[in-house]
Amino acid sequence: MSVRVVGAGMTRFAKSDRSLKELAAEAVTAALADAGLTVADVEAAYVGNAVAGLVTGQEMIRGQVLLQPLGLTGIPVVNVENACASSSTAVYLGCQAIAAGAHDIVLCLGAEKLTHEDKSRGMAAIGTAIDLEARASLAHEAGTDLDDSSRSLFMDLYASWARAYMERTGATLDDLARVAAKNQDNGTRNPRAQYGSSVTVEEVLGAREIVAPLTLLMCSPISDGAAAVVLASERAARRLGLSGPRVAASALVSGGPHDEGDVLGTAAGRAATQAYAAAGLGPDDLDVVELHDATAPAELVLYEELALAAPGTGPELIRSGRVHHGGALPVNPSGGLLAKGHPIGATGVAQICELVWQLTGRAGDRQVEDARVGLAQNAGGWIAGDHAVGAVHILTASD
Amino acid sequence: MSVRVVGAGMTRFAKSDRSLKELAAEAVTAALADAGLTVADVEAAYVGNAVAGLVTGQEMIRGQVLLQPLGLTGIPVVNVENACASSSTAVYLGCQAIAAGAHDIVLCLGAEKLTHEDKSRGMAAIGTAIDLEARASLAHEAGTDLDDSSRSLFMDLYASWARAYMERTGATLDDLARVAAKNQDNGTRNPRAQYGSSVTVEEVLGAREIVAPLTLLMCSPISDGAAAVVLASERAARRLGLSGPRVAASALVSGGPHDEGDVLGTAAGRAATQAYAAAGLGPDDLDVVELHDATAPAELVLYEELALAAPGTGPELIRSGRVHHGGALPVNPSGGLLAKGHPIGATGVAQICELVWQLTGRAGDRQVEDARVGLAQNAGGWIAGDHAVGAVHILTASD
């Protein structure tokens, strides 16, 4: 696939007083400026947002509403939803449009505002990323009850997976906390991160319990934010003198049945396998990874699903220091969802932004030395015993 | 573009007691059967739905929720929203995926359930296809007030355009009614149409007034339904012995500023111009048209925007009988949105289904003789003085 990411921009992730329009405008403006392009250069836009309809009532033409004030009118605008993987799906579509020869320069935007004066709305909206008619059986699967139908089941589901993972691999509570401490530490080096602090394993374990074994610091926060990238065909990049990492692979799958413990049969596992094959690269070729640590134990599971660690050896990887700042394969140098924040529809593009900055040597204090190959993994929703969406992108540094 | 529509299926459009899952299942099953394919052949799915989030709360992974019970898991599923043009956007993406070489067989589904035991939900949801923050100025533009914020402004907007159109072209109330009577008559020949009757111009004008000059019979109804098509690459069609019309053009634009009366500068006008150029065909080459008659006067406006009639001559075209059943260029032989019904996220694919049946000689009593070239135009939402989305597809009969 001859697609390059020639511009990246994002807001700081935070609980914000700013509107979704303001957040989107900042990200789009920054991405275009980074590319050295203007609104007039954009030929199509793919916009990921997951919950604006439920949080603010703005449904159906969300992208047009965000882009029109910037003068981005007339072009094809595709509004895409795929839960927490909405904006990586937008990137997948943008790559496909360029591969089809339909466009040379496209904008991919992820934007989300989870905070609202009615605090229950954001959490209730997140809870719709399941088959609502299957809510009762999912609650049973997660070992919880249905006392509050406006409550998201996701932390219950993540807690349930964490318990199963600990049983299968021998991961300890300390291992879970090590992930959270690593990503909090990484967040201290990212000016766009919502959080970041030097917490100890003990402090992570001592934080307020959400659902055992998850404590507050093991769960991604409620965030607002936006992130945008500009994609260009190889041809346009040459013609216009644009540079940026190459998209070596863009894989999207939906979840489906797989055997217990079959780490490569999950949505993330299958998306990664497809992406490695498409890129002609493997986990040993990676220099930096951004993955979907919606909770701390999810990162351990994902080490195995992305084949960064053999099945059952996720805990060894976090204990080794290899995935820490300064290690051989830093994972979530941005702080990840846990510290950078998780404005769900914006997360996928934000991961790509981090890879762009890492692969172009512009990641400041968190720069991964000599980073040439990066992988971003984004997950969304829940269906049929798996995440509903798995998306994996592999980017390689420009020659 | 080497894409064929090798299967088409849809439910009857109606106010239905059936669930969105049941409606989607019927359409998908029929489309696959029509293609002679099975679930295992589908490599990706593009799912258009506009309001399920607001009507039922099911947001984010709507396609996965509809497709998983059919065994359609594991493949890429893209959930796309673009108001009333959601599922033509899904077809646009499906064509692009094939053109990119990413897939050979893709499913495009549009599904919508507007009815709900709380009757206000469907109408309120439709009303979100605008920039909600601009609602006050839109209401002013439409010459209405904001007495009920849950009320859709669309009929007010359509009434306002109708008045402006009548002033510009000399269209009469009878002309508006002629469109409604034609499409009601067409509906009588379509077993999948929600309505269809032999009403006179006088009866249309005598129906209950919605917003002057629109009467009930000049407005598309509230409908539930689903429609699906299977797209195949030329290569796969040859290999698997699949047949069906060729997609000669798939154009998508968003709305934007244009001069008053500049019929080719509108979203529909620009999408049509792009589609004609891509197909190497013009309005004189068309044998059959399905267009977005959300209201009767919209059809007159669209005659001009699609260059079926010169600017200002829409009324002459409806008076000529040329666009009626048995005329030289039948428009909306399915009954159109007015009689077939308008389950908004399903409408775009349903238009494509009608073209498929017309171009393969399977349209029964409503068959357009020797139909070789068909155009489908779908519009969605409202922004910046225009529809927010314009989508035009041109299909040509298989050789």
Which residue in chain A is spatially nearest to B74 when comparing CA positions? A254
* Interface contact A61-B74, CB threshold 8 A: no
pLDDT for A399 equals 72
- The proportion of chain B whose per-residue pLDDT surpasses 90, expressed as a percent, equals 89
Which three-class secondary structure state does DSSP give residue B364? helix
The answer to whether A195 touches A335, Cβ cutoff 8 Å, is yes
Calpha distance A158→A297 (Å, rounded): 8
> What token pair was written down for B241?
């012995």
Return the pLDDT at B1: 65
Q: What is the mean pLDDT of residues B104-124?
A: 94
* Rg value, chain A, Cα: 19
- Alpha carbons A177 and A372: distance in angstroms, whole number: 29
Residue A136 is predicted with a pLDDT of 86
pTM comes to 0.97
**B73 shares contact with chain A (CB less than 8 Å):** yes
Strands B246-254 and B389-396: antiparallel
In angstroms, the separation between the Cα of residue B56 and the nearest Cα of chain A is 9
Give me the phi and psi of A112, to 5 degrees please: -155, 140
Per-run averaged pLDDT (10 residues), chain A, 399 residues: 94 97 98 98 98 93 97 97 98 98 98 94 90 88 73 88 96 98 98 98 97 97 97 97 98 92 95 98 98 98 98 98 98 98 98 98 98 98 92 94
Q: Scanning the structure block, which residue is given the tokens 């020949």? A: B189
Once rounded to an integer, what is the mean pLDDT over residues B212-220?
97
Q: Which of A54, A64, A383 sits opposite B65 (nearest CB)?
A: A383
Buried/exposed B339-358: b ≥16 CB within 10 Å, e otherwise: bbbbbbbbbbbbbbbbbbbb
Q: Which amino acid is at B289?
A: V
Which residues of chain B neighbour A83 with C-beta distances below 8 Å?
60-61
In this complex, do A82 and B83 lie within 8 Å of one another by their Cβ atoms?
Answer: no
Residues 6+ apart with CB under 8 A from A123: A150, A151, A152, A222
Segment B112-134 mean pLDDT: 91
User: For residue B289, what are its two tokens?
Assistant: 């048209």
Q: How far is it, in rounded angstroms, from Cα B399 to Cα B394?
A: 15
Instruction: Give the per-residue pLDDT at B136.
Output: 86
Report pLDDT for B150: 63
Find the CB nearest A255 among B73, B83, B92: B73
Q: Nearest 5°: phi and psi at B290?
A: -115, 120
Indicate whether B49 pLDDT > 80: yes
Element (DSSP H or E) covering residue A242: none
DSSP string of B269-325, one letter each residue: HHHHHHHHHHHT--GGG-SEEE---SBHHHHHHHHHHTTSS-TT-HHHHHHHTTTST
State the sign of the Cα–Cα–Cα–Cα dihedral B158, B160, B162, B164. negative
Instruction: State whether residue B152 is helix, strand or coil.
Output: coil
pLDDT digits (tens, 9 = 90+) for B315-343: 999 999 999 999 999 999 999 999 999 99
pLDDT tens per residue, range B147-179: 666 667 889 999 999 999 999 999 999 999 999
Closest CA relative to residue B6, chosen from B29, B32, B44: B32
Name the residue among A169, A181, A393 with its Cα closest to residue A289. Answer: A393
Q: Quote ipTM for the complex.
A: 0.97
In chain B, which residue ranges form alpha helices assigned H by DSSP?
A: 20-35, 52-56, 62-67, 86-99, 120-126, 135-141, 154-169, 173-187, 201-206, 234-240, 267-279, 296-305, 314-320, 336-340, 344-359
pLDDT given for residue A161 in this prediction: 92
Whether chain B has a CB inside 8 Å of the CB on A25: the answer is no
Read off φ and ψ for residue B283, nearest 5 degrees. Answer: -55, -30
> Strands, E, within chain A: which ranges?
3-10, 44-48, 77-81, 105-113, 209-211, 214-215, 224-233, 246-254, 288-290, 373-380, 389-396
CA distances from A24 to A223, A357, B109 (A): 14, 19, 29
CA distances from A371 to A9, A321, B133 (A): 19, 18, 44
